[in-house]
Structure 1
Amino acid sequence: MELKAGADPADQALSVAFQQHYEDLHRFLARKLGCPSLAADTVHDLWIKLRADLSAREVRNPRAYLFRMASNLATDRIRQERARARVVGPSSAQDDVASDQPSAETRLDYHQRLAILRRAIDELPPRCRDVFLLHKFGGLTHMEIAGRLGLARSTVEQHVIRALAHCRTRLKQELA
């Protein structure tokens, strides 16, 4: 991506524009392709194509020209991936990819922690439990809970702190 002395001014203008807009091109392609590494490959393909294409002389708007080329390359890449998926099949490509779903072990751990938290919440005094549930699961602020239950804001805060401490203690006890 270096500029050479004595190079054609049109080539230099495109080279300078490419260097100036490299990050923008990468972000644009990452959004279009949905994959930053595929976008990086496509930006590099754009550079190679740009250097090989001698008909790219006298471009009035180098930035627009680069983005149009990038868009065309991305469209070509998407078509290639779709054609490959039709030939190879979607399942064979997915067999080698790590799942974004939690493992069975992780799901079991979540269920155990959830059961412990449910028991811990059930152990709370009724008013403390009501305040905690309204705050954590009802999404109400301390002021809204205070108004709804006729409590002082500081009392609501104390109930929330007490409930959180109790839940944390129960988790540590049962998971130790």
Structure 2
Amino acid sequence: MDQSQSEIIRDWYERYGHDLYRSMCAATKNKDDASEISQEAFLKVAMKVMKEEGSTTIENPKAFLYRVAYNELYKRYHKTKHEVHLKGILINTAFELSDEITPEREVATREELQAIQKAIKALPRKQQKVFLLSREEHLPQKEIGRRLGIETVTVKRHIIRALAVLKGVRKDFNDGS
């Protein structure tokens, strides 16, 4: 990074850094996460400035920084939310089967979770999106259809097909396959 690029980033950090950090604190309710996300946003913006050789391609640096930060926040939150949701399902199932969680059962649950996550990632893109909106964001089918521009009956079909795939994964897993 040459001197002018470094000065640009330093200027942006002085102008927007504190407000961006405060915004991330409000969004995450965690100072460490907010700090990491803010730093990651500035790093990504600095890399873009280096790549583009100047700030002329970034018309509104504040808006760009916030967009990068919120994208990072979304990626982190979405992944965490997804994992927590699936772990909750598996842990509840494990408790139904046995009051005692053994190390072996915990490993098996973790492996089953990985198999389910892999199966969800392998779903057709639209079906995956519908399923995640339904199960993670708890949106009604009508709202999912409105958001994605598809009929409610199509939403229902996507959910049924996704559940059938996941049921098959769990059955295979429980059968020892």
TM-score range, shorter chain: 0.3 to 0.5
Q: Which has the larger radius of gyration?
A: 1
- Give the alignment's TM-score, normalised by structure 2: 0.41
